[in-house]
Chains A and B, each alone.
Chain A
Amino acid sequence: MRWKTDNLMGWGRALTREAEIARPERLSTLSETIQESPCPAIGNRRSYGDASTAAKAIDFTRLDRFISFDSETGLLEAEAGVTIADILNTFAPKGWMPAVMPGTGFATLGGCIAHDVHGKNHHLSGSFGQHVESLTLMGPEGGSQRISLKSKPKLFRATIGGLGQTGVIVSASIHLAKCPAGKMAVQERRMEDLDAFLEAFNSSRADYQVGWLDMSAKDIHLGRGILEEAHFSSGPFEPPREPRAVPFNAPGFAMSRPIVKAFNWAYTKRVPEAGRDVERPLHKFFFPLDNVHHWNRLYGKRGFHQFQCVLPDDEAPATLALMLEAVVASGLASPLSVLKRLGHGRGGMMSFPMEGFTLALDIVNKPSAKALLARLNELARNAGGRVYLAKDSSLEAGYVADMYPELDDFRAEVQKVDPSGVFETDLVQRLKIRGQA
């Protein structure tokens, strides 16, 4: 296998490193590569921080074949490199779709499992890993085993959300959900402040929910934004148009305070005061940013951090207010932040979701970002919340055990299958997730 020396970075581009990357196109080359030099697998690199960076990595994007599909039960087996959008585009016309879809269709099947991702329907459908029937896992010696929750409960639960630490996810069987229509009926409502927002979430009965926060609003407007509630409408599925692309890094001022403020003003005001009902094709609703390729370049060369946490219900209102205040005061605010309700569904030991509210926001990678991120991480921990490792670039290693109560079980299981730590990524090393040794 030829290895390519290249810069490896997460989607946020704040953490980059030089790495040796192999990209097998055949299954036989994959096991040869692992035997030759075992290392973690990476997908489309849509995690934001350093979850998909390491000194050596196997790029899985060319192992992207569908293997089998049962049109009676909706059980799909595919190689881990297929993307969520590919599954949607291929199976929506037949009436099926991934039961859980993250905010980008570029995420791979393997990545969705390794981060146990969630979508806008988490309160109903749980996390991605809960729809995985079984999967093929390749160990450090290149041998494969098929595991399921039934056959190997501990290893399976360590693999779902397991950051690739139990081995290379080669392929997986997932239960698709029925896709009743190609369009979503979306109701958009303006939310005047944080309390109104949380209240609206708590009383919402919608299948799909997401909130967009205006991060330039202060004082009595703090937490202002738009709540989107959606359900399937009717009409056929339409494949997306060719996306536009951000061709190069935007200059530093592109995300400056006045521009962000103007953008937010326009974004909020496009929804009339009385709210509105719109129809959106599935792609536009589920993957709103995929329409612009390389949108991460808008943050310029220095990149950005994403912070996402979940906070338990009783602590959420007070802690969210503190977080928003800190972010607004910093002036590092991204244009849009996402607020969502999560249910209790989680598929693995290191899964992110817990019942409560989740906040996700982008922070421009300026020197002052460090202090803000530290403050946000601290607030999340003090509230008994959890920071999402798929997004993280700044957590304190000491916080991980507080946030992830099954960490010890996870460590024990990983130690059994990868005693020498060949699958460690930069994230895992930075946060000492495998332990101090």
Chain B
Amino acid sequence: MSETWIILGATSAMARAFARKLAQNGANLLLAGRDMAELKRIAADCELRGATSASAVAFDARKPAKFEGIIEQATASGGSLNAAVFVGSMPEQSEIDADASLIDGVVQDSFTGAIRFLHTLAPHMEERESGTIVGVGSVAGDRGRVGNYVYGSAKAGFHTYLSGLRNRLARSGAHVVTVKPGFVDTSMTWGIEGMFLVASPDDVAESLIKAVKKKKNVVYTPWFWRYIMLIITHIPEFIFKKLSI
């Protein structure tokens, strides 16, 4: 029986690379996001690359009424039930500073929408006593910085939720992987100055597949970001508050 994976935010470059790798292993894929035309293209691509099935489903982190329907569709096929969450939005901090109402959207996209979905999904995974959730957070969630602390704080909340959910699901044999990517070469980072050690979405996807296989708890990708963040989180606050990194 092939695995079923729900991919939230499936049009992102990282999600696409991850979905392709799952497709090559013959998974059933539910590709969820807002751009249906694009999702259908990705679904066709995944089917040609070996997915047992791949379909596009409408998902908006800000519209929780639709969540049940997606989960119902996913439970229809047998085998283990899994989910990978790639949703999130990051407007420029300066835009947020000019209009605080943007915060609600960032928090819904990057945190509350995602966890509401996972919270609806969790009982089904407990029932099947299997499955993995891959939650893509961000190194930005490890410490609030002047450049993107609204996004960072939403991701920090997401990390904390994933940690709690891992604790809960461990009792029933299901698993949660928290992923903290550094800079990844996507349309989000394209052309932004000051990027360094940028990883390809394909390399990130490969590390996610490995993390799922090895039941890792928290992974930084690429791996060296663990040490970069270790340093950043240990800078004393009285110094850190004067930095702009």
Contact = CB atoms under 8 A, between A and B. Distances in A.
B168 interface: no
A2 B190 contact: yes
Contact of B35 (A2, A5, A26, A66): A26
Nearest to B48: A66
A25 B16 CA distance: 10
A62 B13 CA distance: 8
Contacts of A3: 191
Given A26-B35, A28-B37, A65 B44 contact: yes
A28 B187 CA distance: 14
Interface in A43-93: 62, 65-69, 90
B38 interface: yes
Interface in B22-79: 35, 37-38, 41-42, 44-45, 48-49
B41 to A, nearest CB: 5
Interface residues on B, range: 10 to 19
B41 A27 contact: yes
Contact of B45 (A4, A5, A26, A65): A65
Contacts of B192: 2
Contact of A2 (B38, B48, B191): B191
Contacts of B191: 2-5
Given A23-B190, A66-B49, A28 B38 contact: yes
A24 B49 CA distance: 22
Contacts of B44: 65-68
B186 interface: yes
Given A25-B13, A28-B35, A90-B49, A67 B187 contact: no
A288 B208 CA distance: 30
Contacts of A4: 190-191
A26 B41 CA distance: 10
A164 B38 CA distance: 25
Given A28-B37, A28-B38, A62-B13, A23 B187 contact: yes
Contacts of A24: 187
Contacts of B108: none
B70 to A, nearest CB: 21
B221 interface: no
A27 B49 contact: no
A67 B45 contact: yes
B132 to A, nearest CB: 25
A26 B11 contact: yes
15 contacts: A2-B187, A4-B191, A23-B190, A24-B187, A25-B186, A26-B38, A27-B37, A27-B38, A28-B37, A29-B187, A65-B42, A66-B45, A66-B48, A66-B49, A90-B48
Given A62-B13, A66-B49, A67-B44, 15 more contacts: A3-B191, A4-B190, A4-B191, A23-B190, A25-B11, A25-B187, A26-B38, A29-B187, A62-B187, A65-B42, A65-B44, A65-B45, A66-B44, A90-B48, A90-B49
Q: Which 3 residue pairs spanning A and B have beta carbons closest together?
A: A4-B191, A65-B45, A66-B48
Interface of A: 2-5, 23-29, 62, 65-69, 90
